[in-house]
Each structure stands twice: as C-alpha cells, then as structure tokens.
Chains A and B, each alone.
Chain A
Amino acid sequence: MASTTEPLVTAKPVLIDRSSNTSVRQRRLVGKTFTYLVLTLAGLMFSFPLFWTVSSSLQTWQELRSYTPHILPESPQWGNYAQVFEAAPFARWLANSFLIVFITIPGTIITATMTAYAFARFNFVGKNVWFILMLGTMMIPATVTLIPQYLLWFKLKMINTYVPLTIGAWLGGSAFMVFMLRQFILSLPRDLDEAATIDGANPFQILWRILAPLMKPALTTVAILQFLSEWNDFFGPFIYLNREELYTAAVGMRYFQFVPLETTDPRDHLLMAAAAVMSLPVLFLFAVAQRYFISGVVMSGLKL
C-alpha cells in the first residue's frame, strides 16, 4: 500500500499540501517505531528462555542458586557438558535418535510419495472415500489406537526393538505429509506424465524419473518434518523401549531428570546443558534449511 501511494506524492509535490505531507510522514514514522518496539520486545521474550538455557548450562550450581542471579556465567563452565556425557549415556541416546530418524526418513519419502501419487494421478474406484478416511485419521486421538498397538507389538515380541517406532513411516507416513505431497503433485502439469507415457514410460518410471526430481522442495520439507517429529517424539520410545541402552535422547532426557546421580547436588546446570545438546541438532537443521521449513508450512496450510 505504502509503495503505491508514495511515488504519487513525490512525483507531483507541488499539488500536495506540505503540512499534510509531513503529518503523513510523521504518522508513518510513529507507526514504524511502534512496530519495531513491539517486535523487539516480543523477540526478547521469545529468545530469553533459550539464552537462559545456554547461560545456565555454563554456570556452577552454586552460582545458579545465589540470591543475586548472574545473567552471564562468571567463568563459563564448559566442563558441565562433559559431565552430562559422563553421568549418563547421552552419546548413545543421541545416536539412537539419529538411527530412528534415518530409518524413517526414506520410508516416509518413498511410501508417502507413492500414496500421494495414487491420490493425485489415478482415478481408481473409491478414491474419494479413501482420501476422506485418510484425512479423518488426523482427528482420532493417538491414545485410541495406541493401546491395541502396544498389545500387538507385545504379542509379537517386538518390545525393545525399533520396529514399532519406525514401521508407520514405511506404511505411508503421516496423513498430513501425504496430503502435502498430493497438493504438490497436483500442481505439476499432467502433460509431463502424458509425454512420458507416449515415450513408453510406466507409472513407476514417471514417478521416480520425472515427478520425483521436480518434487525436491516438497520432499525436503517432508524429510525435515519427519526429522522433527521423530526427534521430539517422547511417548512412542517411552512405551516401546525399556532398556536404558536403547533409549532415544527424548526418553533419556526424562530419565536423566530423575535418576539418582553420585552426588545429591542440584543438577539444574546439567539439565540445562542436556536440554541445549538435545535442541542443537534441530536448531542446526533449521539454520541450514530455513527456506524449506517456511515453505513447507505454508504449502500445508494454504489449501486445507
């Protein structure tokens, strides 16, 4: 809006009353200052807890418990981080989390794409019914299916394996991701498929050789969302894994919160260090792939 009116004002300054011109400018300046002020205030409020995590993780517990809080550590205690890794098998837990993430990402990419392709490109009997059923699964609380699923895996002796945690990703992934990929495939011109069909390509070849390369942004988004959901998942690993060495970082983190340590000293500084370690991979991923985070969310939100 501002950009369309401003050139008019500067192009014919003679016709414009000077006093109203400055008042408009003043008003705009006030508005701008106000916006920046609110944004900065909100930015501080949102980022302070993260800053405080890092700062606390570098202090001694005596420092944290003094009655005059130190915003910055007197001398950074990098040893706190080493202590976390010594006190609990965090390295192992992080590796387990990574393992699960990397088992599930290809699964979601392959099977969610197949499902989305079926919904986007083929007019099979019952398509609409299946599609509505798929969207309906998003409404049903996880607890409804969790109990029998647990009993099933228990009977199949799959407790303390990663099968229950990863198989879903290999069977179509989440409805949300299928929906997103379907929207993306719908936006690709059908001429591509038809030209390839004339050249003798079958639907598998069309999907992997022609559509998949064009779907890179959407597939990257799916990979990121999958990473996030597995990395942050707590209840899945919590019920299916009860051997300490199999824990994921999320479950290990809770364990570390309440497990007895050698000393009875407060462990807030260590907990903060652990929280920082656990958040780091996600924040790093965000820094690298920020573009896809935003576009993925936008794509998924736009047309539902």
Chain B
Amino acid sequence: MATAAQAIPAKPAKTQRSARQRRENFYGYLFLTPWLIGFFGLFIGPGLASLYLSFTNYNIIGESKFIGLDNYVHMFTEDDLFWASLGRTFYFACASVPLSVLGSMFLAILLDSKLRGVAVYRTLFFMPSLVPLVASVILWKWLLDADFGIVNQGLREIGVDDPPGWFVDRRMAIPSLIIMRLWTSIGGTQMIIFLAGLQGIPTELYDASAIDGANTWQRIRSVTIPLLSPTIFFNTVLGIIGALQTFAAAFLLTPEGGGPAFATWFYALHIWKNAFDYFEIGYAAALAWFFALIIIGLTIFQQWLSRRWVFYYGE
C-alpha cells in the first residue's frame, strides 16, 4: 500500500495520510501489547477452553471424552441443586440490590444537604466497605451469633424471648447475608457515585422548583430522582452483576461452604464446588458458561428496559 502511494507523486496528501496511519497503528498496537497478551492468554484462551470443556466429561482423573450437550441436559433435568441454587441466587440478588441502591441514594441525598460535619458521616458510612470480606464474615457471624451475639442479647433484653438463629437457621441464613451485604455496600462506592450524580444536577432546577413552591419531598420526586436515573441505572446494573456472582461470604460461613444444610448454596458456589471439590471440570465449565449467558442476557435486558425509565438531562 505504501509503495503504491509513493508511485503516484501527484497525491502527496495521501502518502502523508497513510504514513500517519501506519504510525498510529504501530504505536497503538505497541502500547496495547501487554493488554493483548493478557486478553488472549488469560481471557479469550481460557474462555474458549472452558467452552470446549463444557462439551466433555473431563474430570482430571479419567479420560476426557466429547459428550456433546450431555452436561447441559444433565444440568436442566437431573441436577437438583442447579435450580435450587439458581433460585437462591436470584432471591439474594432481588432482595439485596434494590434495598442497597435505595439505601445508598437515601444517604447520598441526606449527605448532599450542605450541612456541617457531613464529611465525618461520609467517612463513617464508607468504612464498612473497606473491611476485607473474610474479616466482615467473621465479624457478622459473631454479631449475629445465636447465643452470645450482641444482636440477640439485645433482642432478649427488649423482650424477644426467641430471637432468630441467623446464620445457623436455614430460613434466616440468606436474610443474614443480605444484612451483611447492605452494611458493606450501602455506604461504599455506590453512595459516592450517587453523591457525584447529585452534584451534577443543575441548581437552576432546584431554584425553579422552589419558586413553584415545591416541598422537599416533591422536589426529590420530580427533580432529584429523574435526574439521578442514569446513576440509579448504573448502580443497579453493577449491583446485580455483583450480587449474582457473590458466593465468597457463603463459602466462608461454614467449614465446607454453602451451609447450613445448603441454605446458602448459591449458583457460583455450585460451579466452584463442582470444579474444585468434585473435579467435575467439564460439568463445572458448562455451569459457568450458562451463568455467563444469564448475566449477559440480563445486562442487555436492563439496557433495553432503561430506555423506558432512564432520563438523560440535556439530550
């Protein structure tokens, strides 16, 4: 291409342009090289490998055989834990994400009201999100200990004779995890992103609503929330992707993970157990790929849904 361009001296502009383009390509890809190596070596390669594995019965010890869609059929028809764990995962995500996003928004709106000492409160709210997960699991297990936990001791103090067993109670285990997640997520990044979103709202709109005689609640409902909708959307999408994949807490609760009696056996934990405890690598890969499809599908669905409720100011 370069020689062809040089052969026509009548068009020097084109030569210059292609030389420039070559330079852009050269440096662009040069700087991209480390990332490209990582992208293919640690992402595309392993991703395709696990797609292939999902059609085999590879389990480390035995010989690997191509078995077509058998893993997927087994998943839908024979694996009782598959549907149960999927259900638990959605229960956890659907309960925790809206509460968490609303909580963050509520606190951010309060913090936005230019009062004195707001920075102190912001720090107090933010700190739990910094506590390492392993530490916060251990901490919450202790806070919610059925017999000696401070929460149950407090509940007994105010007359609740039979407080819940929290993490050791099958029905209360997921709600306990939700409480823990709310503690770590409400005051963290989500809230800070809401604060940034609030600062982006033009003050004229607040002035206008004041002139129209709107009270605080009316102002929040008709100015703040619509203008925050892109932020709400952003936090909800990220929150759902995160919540669906959460299983570290469930894994750490009991020595073998997922307890008590499978109550916190989430889908991602199911993948993990199949891969690293039962060595059913092929089956685990199929579970993982199905999970990826669910998450991609959900994200696209939310993107589509967002056109109905997200409002971009000035567009």
Where chain A touches its partner, the secondary structure class is helix
Query: Given A144-B292, A279-B131, A122 and B28 touching (CB < 8 A)?
Result: yes
Check if A203 is an interface residue, CB within 8 A of chain B. yes
Q: Does A170 have its Cβ within 8 Å of any Cβ on chain B?
A: yes
Stretch from B67-75, B161-169, B283-291 at the A interface = B283-291
B262 close to chain A: CB less than 8 A:
no
Q: Which single residue of chain B is at the shortest CB-CB distance from A32?
A: B115
Q: Among A39, A139, A301, which residue has its beta carbon within 8 angstroms of that of B296?
A: A139
Q: Could you tell me if A304 and B50 are in contact, using CB atoms closer than 8 angstroms? A: no
By the criterion CB–CB under 8 Å, are B34 and A271 in contact? Answer: no
Mark out the residues of chain B between 109 and 132 whose CB falls within 8 Å of any chain A CB in the assembled complex. Answer: 110-111, 113-115, 118, 120-121, 123-128, 130-132
Interface size in chain B (residues, C-beta < 8 A): 95
Q: Report if A7 contacts B (CB, 8 A).
A: no
Interface string of B207-222 (1 = CB under 8 A from A): 1001000001000000
- Contact at A46–B127, with CB atoms within 8 Å? yes
Cα of A140 to Cα of B148 in the assembled complex, Å? 41
With a cutoff of 8 Å between Cβ atoms, the chain A residues found around residue B288 in the complex are 141, 143-144, 146-147
A: interface residue count bin: 35 or more
Known: A42-B125, A134-B39, A286-B130. A124 touches B142 (CB 8 A): no
| Chain A residues near B241 (CB-CB < 8 A) | 138-139
- Asked whether A275 lies within 8 Å of B138 as measured between CB atoms, the reply is yes
Within 8 A of B (CB), among A247-304: 249-250, 253-254, 257-258, 268, 271-272, 274-276, 278-279, 282-283, 286, 290, 293-294, 297-298, 301-302, 304
- Decide if A239 is an interface residue (CB 8 Å cutoff): yes
A140 near B47 with CB under 8 A, answer yes
B235 to chain A: closest CB distance in Å?
A: 8
- Report, nearest first, the 10 A-B pairs whose CB atoms are least far apart: A171-B38, A124-B28, A172-B35, A122-B28, A301-B193, A118-B31, A148-B49, A148-B46, A275-B135, A145-B46
Interface set, chain B 215-231, CB cutoff 8 A to A: 216, 231
From residue 30 to 61 of chain A, which have CB atoms closer than 8 A to chain B? Answer: 31-32, 35-36, 38-40, 42-43, 46-47, 49-50, 52-53, 56
- B87: interface (CB < 8 Å): no
**In this complex, what residue of B is CB-closest to A149?**
B46
Q: Is the CB of B47 within 8 A of A144?
A: yes
10 A-B pairs within 8 Å (CB atoms) are namely A49-B128, A53-B135, A56-B142, A143-B288, A148-B53, A171-B34, A274-B138, A275-B134, A278-B132, A286-B130
Additional A-B contact list (9), CB under 8 Å, known A143-B268, A145-B46, A257-B138: A46-B124, A49-B140, A50-B131, A118-B29, A147-B284, A234-B248, A279-B130, A286-B127, A293-B126
